[in-house]
Structure 1
Amino acid sequence: MSGELDETAQALLDPITGNFTEDAGAWLPYVGSAHLVMDRVTLDEQWRGYGLGAILATKAIHRLMAGCRGIACSPGVTDLSSDHLRNQAEFDRVTAKVARGWERIGFRLHRGNVYLVSPASLQLEEQRGAMRQRLAELGISWRLAQDPTASS
């Protein structure tokens, strides 16, 4: 088990029952009993910085959330291959940017570095449409960059 998964389990689950703790359960309307944990969203370096992580995470959440009461993540940077991320200030900046991406989807800080959202969240549903629009805009921008004479 990864450190992030252990941190998430400790923040959300009662070790005896395996159910959400009382404080986590208080955040979530009862719409299911399963738990979805977004452990990693990884993009090749050339695709980072465009908001694709949040877009693709939203698509994955909507595909996988049936029967879930809660969706959790522990935002952070797991790919330390870039030399600039070895600088603590830059690491903190990028980690905060990742957390803002999760918050934009509707996740809220629950405990420690564990964020939580309900699949019944209105913001999660609203962001689904916004993320689709953003993906379409990125696609148009990418096509125009490949062929500036093309029009959409």
Structure 2
Amino acid sequence: MIESSSLPADPGELHLCISYADDLRDTPDADTLEQWDVAIRHRRRVHEARRCPSSPGECPSDDCPANVVDDVAVGSMTFYRVHLDRGCNAYVAMEELSEDLSEIAHVLLDPATGYYTDEAGELLAYSGSALLVMDRVTLDEGWRGHGLGVILAAEAIFRLMPGCRAVACSPGVSDLSANRLRERSEFDRVTTSIAEGWEKIGFLLYRDNVYLLSPTSLVLEEQRALLRREFVELGASWAAQARR
């Protein structure tokens, strides 16, 4: 059974909230770039003693009206759906928004047209025209180290990729708060581990640290089924250890 003793709470209560906020800006880049935010949240039942009608130690905890569900954020993901066929030049829009998006645009898109380069286009089966960029995946420190980032990212990608010809990412460390990551060897080890996680769901290195996943590939669908089983096993392991 998968080891889960170091997790802070039941992983089976994790869930995703996917949202897109439209600022209703009448600008070409607003039609080209859509930012999709994914909140990683955890449900837990909390007993509020001040609302409990029973005396201390006599509360029937399962049915107590003082039990409330607390839904807290434990991580987040940021994706961009880049529409190459509307608004402004997608290459320019990505270059202006952030250095990370610019890095991906330089590798995949033609600066003159904003469309996929001929080289990239030859690799990608047609399943739509848009580009989905996985920009950030972060989890609170207590939830790291169990493969949950990959499991949750696979679910988010599956929901957001319809209409896209490619999914792209540039693996790296977004949270540099840990002192251990200030050492180059440890930073490289963590970065390599992150890239291996994305390769697990079908991302392949294309060029210059830009990884590509084709929505038509069966790898994501196959791995998603395996990852869902791992997720269930992780929850079962946590529950079994919690009963001890």
SS of 2:205's equivalent in the other structure is: strand
Tell me the residue number matched to 1:85: 181
SS of 1:49's equivalent in the other structure is: coil
Tell me the residue number matched to 2:205: 109
2:131 to 35, 38, 54: 35
1:56 equivalent in alignment to 2:56: no
What's the CA shift for 1:146? 2.3
Distance in 1 of aligned mates of 2:165 and 2:121: 9
What's the CA shift for 1:76? 0.8
Unaligned runs of at least 5 residues, structure 2 = 1-96
Structure that is richer in strand per residue: 2
1:4-53 residue CA offsets vs partner (Å, 9 max, x unmatched): 21111111111122111111111110111011000011100111111011
Tell me the residue number matched to 1:140: 236
Deviates more, 1:2-11 or 1:139-148: 139-148
Tell me the residue number matched to 1:97: 193
Greater Cα radius of gyration, structure 1 or 2: 2
Q: Percent identity?
A: 61
Tell me the residue number matched to 2:222: 126
2:118 to 11, 17, 22: 22
Tell me the residue number matched to 2:76: none
Distance in 2 of aligned mates of 1:4 and 1:110: 16
Deviant stretches of 4+, over 6 Å: none
TM-score, normalised with respect to structure 2: 0.59
TM-score, normalised with respect to structure 1: 0.94
Unaligned runs of at least 5 residues, structure 1 = none
1:57-110 residue CA offsets vs partner (Å, 9 max, x unmatched): 100000001100000000110100000000000000000000000000000001
Equivalent position amino acid for 2:148 in 1: L
